[in-house]
């Protein structure tokens, strides 16, 4: 019976995919295009089992719908946008080697993954057109564009209700001059070099960096420490930083292998970000929230316009997170 059903379903799918269907199970169709069990398995592996297979089937149905509409609208993805997305994908995977290993685990190659990312970008382009983010687009759905409109009052209310979340963390900016003992005739010679560099930095914060430029035995670096990172410093280093103001070098500090001079270049306590500074952030958050709801509505509209099998694939109480076409494939 299962074999007969598979043959019947195969007759309804495009000819160029019949060879796949012959050895694969069709779990759903979208306007005649099949969603195959192998696709579900691969996506399940990609997401580490975080999504149920039923959710994945529905997401692939939605992705197929979005891609079909984008192609019907003759939308395209620029080469530069695709190359940038692929470069970011490789980077997020940990590098070229890790990226290739991940593809091999999933039974994919670079070109097939490139096609998937291009399709994902195409979907995003289609959504931008329908939500009114592309001026003059014939694909605009006005009611969806209205859904993503954010008013100044909404921004103000959001900031007032979430004011504590708009907090800038405390930080300390440090300049550091490292004087390795092994680079000198002995520890005392290295200490004298460190003391000399410290004295030159008293009236000129940039002197530490110049010292490293003039003497290759020195090493200069700068960094920003969070409150937690600063709290993890050695007690004597923390005490030295507390005693020194901005632009004043610390006393020479010793480690087993080096002498160190530190200098605070900036420092700020934790603070609530004022509304003028937080306004664009709040606006972006609200816009993103509304765009997600509009995307859900767009998904439901496309479903109503499509011939999806099985008919009960999308339950009436479909939660919003399942009603959104999936993002780009995970790395």
Domain residues of the chain, as ranges?
25-149+286-322, 170-269
Mean predicted confidence (pLDDT) in 303-328: 74
Residue 9 confidence (pLDDT) above 50: no
What is the C-alpha to C-alpha distance for residues 201 and 222, in angstroms, rounded to an integer?
15
- Topology adopted by domain 25-149+286-322: Triger factor/SurA peptide-binding fold (1.10.4030)
pTM score: 0.71
pLDDT of residue 204: 79
**Whether 249 contacts 202, CB under 8 Å:** yes
Mean predicted confidence (pLDDT) in 155-176: 96
Query: Hey, what long-range contacts does 188-193 have (CB within 8 A, 24 or more apart)?
Result: 190/258, 190/259, 191/252, 191/254, 191/259, 193/217, 193/218, 193/259
Mean predicted confidence (pLDDT) in 172-196: 94
Widest Cα–Cα separation across the chain? 89
- Measured CA to CA in angstroms, residue 329 lies from 14, 108, 116, 124, 307 at distances of 24, 12, 7, 13, 25
Side-chain-side CA neighbours of 81 within 13 Å: the count stands at 11
What is the C-alpha to C-alpha distance for residues 164 and 277, in angstroms, rounded to an integer?
14
Mean predicted confidence (pLDDT) in 245-252: 93
pLDDT of residue 101: 94
pLDDT of residue 272: 96
pLDDT of residue 5: 31
Residue 37 confidence (pLDDT) above 80: yes
Q: What number of H helices and E strands is found in the chain?
A: 14, 9
State which CATH number among 3.10.50, 3.40.50, 1.10.357, 3.40.1180 fits the domain covering 170-269: 3.10.50
Cis (ω within 30 of 0) for the bond into 223?
A: no
């Amino acid at each position: 019976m299962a074999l007969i059903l598979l043959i019947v379903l195969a007759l309804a799918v495009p000819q160029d995919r019949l060879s796949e269907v012959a050895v694969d199970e069709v779990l759903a169709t979208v306007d005649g295009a099949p969603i195959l069990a192998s696709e579900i398995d691969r996506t399940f592996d990609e997401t580490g089992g975080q999504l149920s297979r039923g959710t994945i089937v529905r997401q692939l149905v939605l992705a197929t719908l979005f891609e079909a509409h984008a192609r019907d609208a003759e939308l395209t993805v620029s080469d530069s946008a695709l190359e940038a997305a692929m470069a970011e994908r490789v980077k997020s995977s940990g590098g070229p080697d890790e990226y290739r290993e991940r593809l091999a685990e999933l039974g994919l190659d670079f070109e097939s993954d490139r096609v998937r990312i291009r399709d994902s970008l195409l979907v995003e382009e289609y959504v931008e057109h329908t939500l009114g983010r592309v001026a003059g687009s014939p694909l605009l759905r006005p009611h969806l564009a209205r859904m993503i409109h954010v008013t100044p009052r909404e921004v103000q209310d959001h900031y007032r209700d979430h004011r504590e979340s708009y907090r800038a963390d405390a930080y300390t900016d440090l300049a550091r001059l490292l004087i390795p003992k092994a680079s000198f005739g002995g520890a005392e010679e290295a200490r004298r070099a460190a003391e000399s560099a410290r004295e030159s930095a008293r009236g000129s914060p940039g002197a530490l960096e110049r010292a490293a430029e003039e003497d290759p035995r020195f090493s200069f670096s700068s960094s920003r420490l969070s409150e937690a990172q600063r709290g993890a410093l050695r007690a004597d280093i923390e005490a030295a930083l507390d005693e020194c103001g901005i632009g004043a070098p610390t006393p020479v500090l010793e480690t087993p292998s080096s002498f160190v001079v530190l200098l605070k270049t900036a420092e700020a306590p934790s603070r609530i970000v004022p509304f003028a500074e937080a306004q664009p952030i709040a606006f972006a958050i609200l816009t993103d929230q509304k765009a997600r709801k509009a995307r859900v509505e767009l998904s439901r509209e496309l479903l109503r316009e499509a011939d999806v099998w099985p008919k009960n694939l999308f339950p009436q109480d479909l939660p919003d997170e399942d009603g959104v076409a999936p993002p780009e494939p995970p790395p």
